[in-house]
Amino acid sequence: MTGSPTPTPTQAPLTVQVLQTAAALENLAVECYTAAAAMPLVTRGGGLLRDLVDRNRSHHAAHALAFNRALRGAGAARQTAVDARYAPIVRRRLARVTDPAALADLLTELENVNAQTCVRFATLCQDGRLRSLLVDTASVEAQHTAQLLIQRAFLDGGFGAEDAAPGLAQAAARTLPATAATAGIPYAAFPTAEASAINEGVVR
């Protein structure tokens, strides 16, 4: 997922910039998963995909709430908007999604951006509580990424979204895709190249 960063100079403290940007990304994730949950390919698909979409959406809503609570504690404005850099890209791609594989790919990219952003921001913060919040959030979103990559491997292996859940429960190990065991471990060291700019989501 790409987009042109257009950071605007701001005098907000680093902590506020980090929290508002992280919240904006979480808000976008909630919007994306909410739209995905309403898609026929999810509502009429297998329970595995529906459960994944619903669970991840609830996690992102909780993350956005946590970042906004931290902002309130810092005496700063809450961030209720979505990330302006990625929102147009995500919305365009969602409009073109017609199959579970394309949806999994989009959600994976979004999770990667969020996770890498939280990892990078954690390295910049001196406040221990904020670092812990960012690291905890990154770990959950890295888990989302791993699960989506595994889901994609099963789709590639012929386990469709409508039958993935019973297929996984009943299939003999020899019938599962060879990539299933490693698909969810894409990195030896977690990258941060896709992290958002620190002030990308600052409340203007």
User: How high is the pLDDT of residue 152?
Assistant: 84
* Structure token digits, residue 122: 């954690």
| Domains of the chain in sequence order | 14-181 (1.20.1260.10)
Please, what sign has the CA dihedral across residues 84, 38, 80, 140? negative
CB 80 within 8 A of CB 203: no
Contacts for 6 with CB less than 8 Å, ≥ 6 apart: 85
CB 24 within 8 A of CB 83: yes
* Structure token digits, residue 17: 């910039």
CB 87 within 8 A of CB 106: no
What global pTM score does this model have?
0.86
H helix runs in the chain, sequence order: 14-37, 40-43, 47-73, 87-96, 100-124, 128-156, 164-170
From first to last of its 204 residues, what are the pLDDT tens digits of the chain? Answer: 765 555 555 578 999 999 999 999 999 999 999 999 999 999 987 777 889 999 999 999 999 999 999 999 999 999 999 999 999 999 999 999 999 999 999 999 999 999 999 999 999 999 999 999 999 999 999 999 999 998 888 777 666 545 444 444 445 444 555 555 566 676 667 788 999 999 999 998
* Structure token digits, residue 6: 């257009």
Contacts for 23 with CB less than 8 Å, ≥ 6 apart: 64, 67, 68, 71, 78, 79, 201
CA distances from 18 to 130, 143, 197 (A): 9, 22, 9
- Kindly report the average pLDDT of the chain as a whole number: 86
Please, what sign has the CA dihedral across residues 6, 10, 16, 20? negative
CB 184 within 8 A of CB 150: yes
Tokens 């909780």 belong to which residue? 62
